[in-house]
Amino acid sequence: MAIGDQKKKYIVGVDLGGTNVRAAVLDRKTEQIVARGENLPSFALEGVEATAKQIAKSAELAIELAGITNDQVLGVGVAVPGHVKPAEGMVMWAPNFRDQWRKVQIVKPIQDSIGLPVHIGNDANLAALGEFTYGAGRSVRHLAMITLGTGIGGGIIIDGKILEGADGGAAEVGHIVVMPGGRGGNGAFGSIEGLAQRDAIIERAARKVQEGRETVLAKLSDYDRFALTPAIIAEAAQAGDAVAKEVFEETGYYLGITVANLINILNPQMIVVGGGIAQSGDLIMSPIRRAAYACAIRSLSRTCQIVPSELGDNAGIMGAVALIETEYGHGVSA
């Protein structure tokens, strides 16, 4: 089935972070990325106008590297961290960007700069859409995703569509409370973000080192907790360090409770676990599965796969691409 304008065979996807912004160009026919722009500073703390210019510049560089022109591009999708109102092009709240990012219009300045249609979505929502459209979830209609990193995000796909909620803020999985009174993240004390985000994992390991536990983590960090990272902890665990393995077991347990809640509430066919921390593989996936299947309603968990992300770091970009395809695409001819 052909689209109205046969020249528009490409889509630009942009992933906006608190530090960097990156863009890629996707060929709609082959569903392959044909060019990637270099990472640019997002200038998130300098205000929305500065960031909008960086987003546009990132997209322009990717288009240039692809050897195409704007008239061949269907549109630009942007994955934004925080609570967004996609239909209004508004960012309502972006905790990593401080208070200046409250109820700000971001789509218009990007469009004014680049001269192409622009749509935004929450980064975790779009990661879920990316996995659903191009990744691990291509065979299902109902999917939920958890992204693990500096924070914890979530995205939910119901019957092929993003669950946005009444005000665009649905699927804030990181703010689910699993241990009241526990460690706090950007939300309530005891939220899963507070218990399983990057800093929580590091803190969990550092406490065990300071308790005098026998662990290689002490030497790897030179007894400096600020030198620990999830990657270092994962390396130690893979080498058989009992304390490092315990850190991932405890983290996976809390995440598994969260996954069980999603299974019980949503009855999805698949839960996808993504983000940088998910790259630790079975170290985190195995305890997540054990806790989830132990806590979820059995008849619901039997029909739900719990899998790692297939797209990895590209999930947000591919979801941003899928957003534009959903908005404007009706197939592309040969």
Instruction: Give the model confidence (pLDDT) of 214-237 as tens digits.
Output: 999 999 988 888 899 999 999 999
Does 137 score more than 50 pLDDT?
yes
Structure tokens given for 324: 């534009």
Residues 156 and 64 in one domain: no
Does 334 score more than 60 pLDDT?
no
Q: Alpha-carbon torsion 234, 238, 244, 250, what sign?
A: positive
* Residue 49 included in any domain: yes
pLDDT digits (tens, 9 = 90+) for 107-126: 999 999 999 999 999 999 99
Least confident of 1-5, 30-34, 43-47, 93-97: 1-5
Residues 305 and 324 in one domain: no
Residues 173 and 111 in one domain: no
* Residue 4 included in any domain: no
pLDDT digits (tens, 9 = 90+) for 10-67: 999 999 988 899 999 999 999 999 999 989 999 988 888 999 999 999 999 999 999 9
* Residue 37 included in any domain: yes
Least confident of 17-21, 74-78, 99-103: 99-103
Residues 89 and 148 in one domain: no
Distances (CA, A) of 307 to 123, 137, 171, 251, 255: 19, 9, 18, 17, 13
Residues 118 and 191 in one domain: no
Residues 126 and 177 in one domain: no
Whose structure tokens read 């409250």?
Answer: 102
* Residue 63 included in any domain: yes
Residue 5 banded pLDDT, cuts 50, 70, 90: low
For residue 212, the domain's CATH number is: 3.30.420.40
Residues 90 and 178 in one domain: no
* Residue 1 included in any domain: no
Residues 280 and 183 in one domain: yes
Q: By CB neighbour count within 10 A (0-12 exposed, 13-18 middle, 19+ buried), where does 181 fall?
A: exposed
* Residue 161 included in any domain: yes
Residues 159 and 237 in one domain: yes
Domain of residue 90 covers 10-130+314-328
Residues 34 and 169 in one domain: no
Looking at the structure of the chain, the number of domains it has is: 2
